[in-house]
Structure 1
């Protein structure tokens, strides 16, 4: 007698893990409400290792479980998912089990390879909804936040080399950021800006430029029509042996949804949070990175482009390496800072008075803030003009970056007066 075909029900309960430690449960209730609750054994630890600062009470320990959210995931989990083109590609890739625009469905599909050390797996006794007639087919299950088409990839070390997409439960250790038709030379632009950040002493992940021809077996929905090189960046949330290292971006720290990443907080809020959660030195390093963004014309350092990293036991955060560093001015001449700096976003407004107001709001010593800005400007002016990586940037893009740097040097240098 033939076996009856399986008719699995949609998953309604997910276990949330930090590496292999169960920290809570995410449940989809009737009416499409999503609720997250902490495991009592995890709550008894005081909330260590840390899942997110947004869940921690000012007096220590964990807050109460967040309220259920209608038709959306709680903000921390929503920020784990891809956006825009990458999200569309992932939904198409998992069309048999993911409904368009449904966060819970997408989290189920991608839960094995999320940013940081978070994993989300179906609770015991539940099975995946299978509308796809070929459920055994391995699919890409990684998630990367952001709107640019980027893939988590594996670098093959054998004779043939090449780069491939992790399938099933595999993990990628590199992020491949593909070129954009609307932003010519964007890979080279970011490559040179990362090199500049490293040259002036910032913590920068390994990176290289590669040809699109080096990628093998990329599903059609992830392919880009844009010509040009791909920027390959080593993932700092993965260790040398592939182990997960926990991270969270500042939209997660503040409990803000991705749609509000340009308006949910100001730069002084990040600096103040770093001073409390990490150290005053981390806050000053943040100032240096802000000054770099201002002088190079990076108008896209929103809340999701700053992160905390939790090394070792995961109990204490540090400022994560700098990432998503590029000049947006060549493509958007009227661009400005992504968030407010002391009430202003215009690059031209970033004079000494603005940084003094910022220092006051961030509860940082004014002299230390001004010195960090001046030191960064001096280092950039010393090293940018002879940086070897400039040579890969298209001439028109480089010219616009150079013009902005020349414009900003005297404005930022008022901090030395």
Structure 2
């Protein structure tokens, strides 16, 4: 991190991770992950070596699903099937955040033209740069250049998903949330994309500005809450909302915890069942010695495609959208160590703002009518349920 070696991952015959002594002497700054730190902020002992499993922080840097499969094909011959270490060795120089993983001898062998980035998640997406020439499109970063944008492909399974997320990001911005710049672009804007990294589903791509890359391309560290809690990617749906809220309250600020509450309420209102542990992140600006709540991302309504969907994180021991009455928010507040009144007020404020802004939002008009209608219907159902938070007594 910050061009200084902070540790080593060794595979022989188990995966072992050790911190450098001078990194320990610097107090473990810049922070790699809260998962490596004790409750009082001190760096823990090196994690226990594991057989066949990468330490969870590093496992969560790797792509999943279609993107992982595509990257395996793209680097065929260098990545054995289902081998996390191979994939990390190939893609580790350009992963999310400010960490870089390179061979211990300092050599980085990069074949041209190949893509060497890693983005976590199931959806097919690319880290891209905007071509600097006039009228230039979007290209894969080459020769050590970093992509400043994420281009998310549309889905053949879920029609209108790009427009859905585009409108939901606009809604989050309209109600005052911190949202990265985003736009819809045409597939023709992508230039020279290898076939295995392309898809042929119809519709526009969603282009989102990366908040872990600065204006001049510098790396800004982030970690998702699967990394914070030391949870393997396969268990990202097993989290509880109060755990994130309590961490934000203690490690960041009470205001960050209440912003998390507002984002939870937005997910419930819009029917977003995909806000799992990897879709919430901390960001470490400046010297990287203190976390903040990262901008909101990966927000879309999933109920138009999965009518029986539910919250990805349990809230007051419930996941069903329709169960999220005031009693559940109170139970969540108590477990998170947050004032009940402040939590209920944050929910009510979000309900009010969403109902004021959503139907007047210009961006919603790009959403296919059937998808938009299902979002509207869900919002209509959820408004009185979350509205119980306004009741006295």
Short-chain TM bin: over 0.9
Match for residue 192 of structure 1 among 163, 167, 171: 167
Q: Which has the higher strand share?
A: 1
Task: Answer whether contact 1:299 1:329 (CA < 8 A) is retained.
Answer: yes
1:26 aligns with: 9
Task: Give CA deviations for 1:358-415 in whole Å, capped at 9, x if unaligned.
Answer: 0000100000000000000000000101100011000000000000000000000110
Give matches, 1:208-219, under 5 Å.
208-219=183-194
Output the CA distance in 1 between the equivalents of 2:92 and 2:44.
24
Find the counterpart in structure 1 of residue 19 from structure 2: 38
Is 2:270 aligned against 1:289? no
Residue in structure 2 matched with residue 141 of structure 1 by the alignment = 116
| Cα distance, 1:58 vs structure 2 | 1.9
Equivalences for residues 361-372 of structure 1 within 5 A: 361-372=335-346
TM-score with structure 1 length normalisation? 0.92
SS at match of 1:87: helix
Matched, 1:108 2:82: no
- The CA deviation at 1:170 is 2.0
Structure 1 counterpart SS, 2:6: strand
Q: Is the 8 A contact 1:151 1:177 kept in 2?
A: yes
Distance 1:357 1:258, change over 3 A: same
The aligned length equals 391
SS of aligned partner of 1:248? strand
Q: What's the TM-score, normalizing by structure 2?
A: 0.98
**Preserved CA contact (<8 Å) 1:141 1:168:** no
Cα distance 1:313–1:200, how it changes in 2: closer, same or farther (>3 A)? Answer: same
Paired residues of 2:102 and 2:108 also in contact (CA < 8 A): no
Runs of 4 or more consecutive aligned structure 1 residues displaced over 3 Å after TM superposition: 125-128
Which of residues 247, 256, 270 in structure 1 aligns to 2:231? 256
Q: How does 1:57-68 map to 2 (within 5 A)?
A: 57-68=38-49
Aligned to 1:381: 355
Instruction: Quote the Cα distance in structure 1 between the aligned partners of 2:108 and 2:171.
Output: 49
Distance in 1 (alpha carbons) for counterparts of 2:358 and 2:126: 29
Aligned to 1:131: none
Which secondary structure state, in structure 1, belongs to the residue aligned with residue 102 of structure 2?
Answer: strand
Counterparts of 1:174-193 in structure 2 under 5 Å?
A: 174-193=149-168
- Could you tell me how far apart the structure 1 residues matched to 2:273 and 2:359 are? 21
Decide whether aligned partners of structure 1 residues 127 and 291 sit closer, same or farther in structure 2, where only a CA change above 3 A counts: closer
Partner of 1:11: none
Give the CA RMSD over aligned residues.
Answer: 1.1
* 2:309 corresponds to 1:309: no
Q: Is the 8 A contact 1:140 1:168 kept in 2?
A: no
* Equivalent residue for 1:87, pick from 68, 88, 92: 68
Task: Output one character per residue of 1:65-117: Cα deviation in whole Å (capped at 9) or x when no partner.
Answer: 01111112100000000001000000111112111111111011101110000
Task: Name the counterpart of 2:205.
Answer: 230
Secondary structure of the corresponding residue to residue 21 of structure 1: coil
Q: Partner residue of 1:9?
A: none
Question: Gaps (5+ residues) in structure 2?
Answer: none
Task: Give the distance between the partners of 2:207 and 2:365, measured in 1 at CA.
Answer: 18
User: Considering only CA atoms, is the larger Rg found in Structure 1 or Structure 2?
Assistant: 1
Report the CA distance shift for 1:359/1:95 in structure 2 as closer, same or farther (over 3 A).
same
Gaps of 5+ in 1: 1-17, 129-134
Q: CA deviation at 1:60?
A: 3.1
Alignment partners' CA distance in 2, 1:125 and 1:397: 50
Question: How far, CA to CA, are the matches of 1:157 and 1:394 in structure 2?
Answer: 33
Distance in 2, matches of 1:112 and 1:171, equals 10
User: How many angstroms apart in 1 are the aligned matches of 2:163 and 2:41?
Assistant: 45
